[in-house]
Structure 1
């Protein structure tokens, strides 16, 4: 999912991603919210590739990333439902990383 969400930051087919950017954070940026979301998209694509290649590390990175996103969404309280969804996905990513530790036979 990080790869799909990351790619969509460039097309906005699934949603207009800038709407999720906390206005407080947006006001601190030296560029537009759209540019910020494209940077986020690149990070998400890299994180998705990391999950595929190194699930133990990638799962932890994606989990932390999703918690940070949820916290910024909760600060504005406008998208609490999305924040809860992201926290559930963060728990799933963390669980995947822990399972990868158990089942890694290298």
Structure 2
């Protein structure tokens, strides 16, 4: 059973480490999608900078969060879980891309699960 727990931890670690890094890098290129479309008009109006610049800042945060998962898994997983929850709540409150919000909440649960699995003594 311990080898299964270790396999799951490793799989989640690389998933929640690499995916935020890729998504963060894509904030600079928009190859996967136009990330600015996910900013509601209300939020965009409140920003003191352009939406594309804001998304680049978000990208840097995501890259850091992914690196944190890869290097300090427990804390990084909590950060990614909180980050995904915040994104989901923003989408829900603006009632846009609710399908993405639901997906992000499910991913947040997965990241939270990784954090719990990364506690001392789990899977050893």
Give the structure-1-normalised TM-score: 0.94
How many Å apart are 1:27 and its aligned residue? Answer: 0.7
More contact order relative to length (CA 8 Å, sep ≥ 6): 2
Taking structure 2 as the reference length, the TM-score comes to: 0.81
Aligned length: 105
Say if 2:57 is the partner of 1:39: yes
Which residues of structure 2 form unaligned runs of 5+?
Answer: 1-18
* 1:1-106 correspondence to structure 2 within 5 Å: 1-101=19-119, 102-103=121-122
Report which of the two structures shows the higher radius of gyration computed on alpha carbons: 2
Query: Following TM superposition, where does structure 1 have runs of at least 4 consecutive aligned residues deviating by more than 4 angstroms?
Result: none
RMSD: 1.3
Structure 1 unaligned spans of 5+: none
